[in-house]
Structure 1
Amino acid sequence: MSGTTRVYGLIGSPVEHSLSPAMHNAAFAAMGLDAVYTAFPVEEENLEAAVKGLFAAGVAGLNVTIPHKSAMLSVVDDLTPLAVGVGAVNTVYLDRGILKGDNTDVVGLLRAVARDGARLDGRVVILGAGGAARAALQAVLLEGGEAIILNRTPGRAESLAESLNEMWERDAVQGDALEPETAVEAVAFANVLINCTSVGLNDSEATPFPWASLLPPDLYVFDTIYSPSETRLLREAREHGCRTRNGLAMLVEQGAESLRIWTRREPPVDVMEAAVAGSV
């Protein structure tokens, strides 16, 4: 590092476990940039002061992780349409003196599924109704697809569907309960299933969809979780003939999109993925 090194970072709590520093620093080295990426643990009550202070001190860009993605909406000066649509910010930068908030999760998901030739312009089943689900649903709607949200609390799924249909002025999203009858009916007519819950995270025996034996073999199954590298959902889907992918590609692709925004250069996605692949 020197006095001219550009500093980027991740804010959240906790951040000690994050793969982002390894991923971004590998990219900077491969790109020949005098830049460094580090993690900043920031508690909720200090969020605005930390963000304003870091940019005042010369930080060139920030990523945002839990629990601050939604709170960042009111911290930045301006929001991109994707950040508004998802209701969350994961990338922050200065644009002609204006602190701007963006969301790269949508692009990250689209590029991740595109690796397998999958598309979200058909009928997509979304498991969960939280922040990851909102990003996935924006991706589906951008592609012109339709979605059904299945959630253990059906009211949350229905409310999210209603808000998205109003936002997009389309009747393209439905919400329902994550129960055997509705789940099996939903996947029977779907092209893609995306798990946006945390069920299965660091637990190879937990699954958000215990009816995998009924998955049609032509279904593409994507799990936003990447640890373990093959969740029970993905393992059982693969055993029934489905194509599958875990969330590592989405992590890498959303990080790469942040780098494009910050540097206006094309990042080495393969280098970024290699830097973190051994950690999951």
Structure 2
Amino acid sequence: MSGATTGRAAVLGSPIAHSLSPVLHRAAYAAMGLDGWSYEAVECGEDGLGAFLDGLGPDWAGLSLTMPLKRVALGLVDTVSDLAVRVGGANTIVLRGGRRHGENTDVYGIETALAEAGLKAPASALVLGGGATAASALAALAGLGTREAVLAVRTPERAAGTAGVGERFGLAVRVVTLDRVPAQLPADLVVSTLPGRAADTFAEPVAESGAALFDVVYAPWPTVLAATVQRAGGTVVGGFEMLLHQAVRQVALMTGREDVPVEAMRAAGEAELARRG
């Protein structure tokens, strides 16, 4: 599929209607002159992924996966990267030569977004939430040189797997309940993987601590947490930057090309968010 002039790709998940991925990938194809490529959004739950994969023809180049498909995908591919295995989820399936290869580009997306903002080696981190994105965040932090992190979750017993991901990457991870967040500050970096307004209650403590913030939410933006930290003069990285850079890596994997137009994708994504806004 490398250098192919035609190819099909899609993002799968549930719910999927508001995914920004089609805008980002189509912008890349347009800028790269890949007029024969297409990218769509497909509603698909865990029970439907296997059948969907079995029905794909040779014109398919790859799939982007969002919740709740990242974990189940590991058992439906022929090969899988070591990173995806260690993180416990694949957000990308590359289809080539009749075989399915699972990858994780979320870690790359987080690492790149943080590094661009100058957050290249936070010594300590406080991660809010214990799901798949938190697992990728711990892996990314380890890659940037962080050595210890606190994982704040609603139910510590359910976060053992996520904490284990951090430990596999060399992080010393301590798990606490979310009500203990103020007591874990200051930290060099706070990572919020909580949905919607679930992190609002932590806005003032995080802002007052002087911590930098990575908030995975990208719409609506800014969140109360992000706006409060910004007003206090702190560094803030939003979820759009992560989404952008993980998509950049997906385009490279699926097309077999490395000349992926980051700025064209960024402009298209920002314009779409503004339109929706």
- Common fold by TM > 0.5: yes
Q: CA separation in 1, counterparts of 2:249 and 2:226?
A: 26
1:243 to 227, 235, 243: 235
Counterpart check, 1:234 vs 2:226: yes
Contact residue 154 and residue 178 of structure 1 kept, 8 A: no
Structure 2 unpaired stretches of 5+: none
2:41 to 32, 39, 42: 39
Counterpart check, 1:14 vs 2:25: no
* Deviation of 1:160 (Å): 3.1
Q: CA separation in 2, counterparts of 1:129 and 1:61?
A: 28
Q: Alignment partner of 2:19: what SS?
A: coil
Q: CA separation in 2, counterparts of 1:276 and 1:75?
A: 30
Counterpart check, 1:276 vs 2:269: yes
Q: Which has the higher contact order (CA 8 A, sep 6+)?
A: 2
Q: CA separation in 2, counterparts of 1:120 and 1:223?
A: 17
Q: CA separation in 2, counterparts of 1:129 and 1:225?
A: 15
Report the aligned-residue RMSD: 2.2
**1:51-200 equivalence runs, <5 A:** 51-54=53-56, 56-145=57-146, 146-157=148-159, 160-162=162-164, 164-165=166-167, 167-168=168-169, 170=170, 172-179=172-179, 182-188=180-186, 190-200=187-197
Match in the other structure for 1:266: 259
* Deviation of 1:211 (Å): 4.0
Deviations 1:189-235 (A, max 9, x none): x211110111428xxxx615254366323x21110001111000011
Q: Alignment partner of 1:209: what SS?
A: helix
How many residues end up aligned between the 2 structures? 267
Q: CA separation in 2, counterparts of 1:29 and 1:84?
A: 33
Q: Alignment partner of 1:117: what SS?
A: coil
Residues 53 and 160 (structure 1), Cα distance of their counterparts in 2 relative to 1, 3 Å cut: same
Q: CA separation in 2, counterparts of 1:230 and 1:214?
A: 14
How many percent identity over aligned positions? 35
Normalising by structure 2, report the TM-score.
Answer: 0.88
Deviations 1:33-86 (A, max 9, x none): 1311112222332210101222x3421111111221111111111111221122
Contact residue 213 and residue 240 of structure 1 kept, 8 A: no
Deviations 1:257-280 (A, max 9, x none): 101112222211111111121333
Normalising by structure 1, report the TM-score.
Answer: 0.87
Q: Alignment partner of 1:63: what SS?
A: strand
The aligned amino acid for 1:196 is T
Residues 60 and 208 (structure 1), Cα distance of their counterparts in 2 relative to 1, 3 Å cut: farther
Structure 1 unpaired stretches of 5+: none
Q: CA separation in 1, counterparts of 2:190 and 2:15?
A: 29
Q: CA separation in 1, counterparts of 2:120 and 2:260?
A: 23
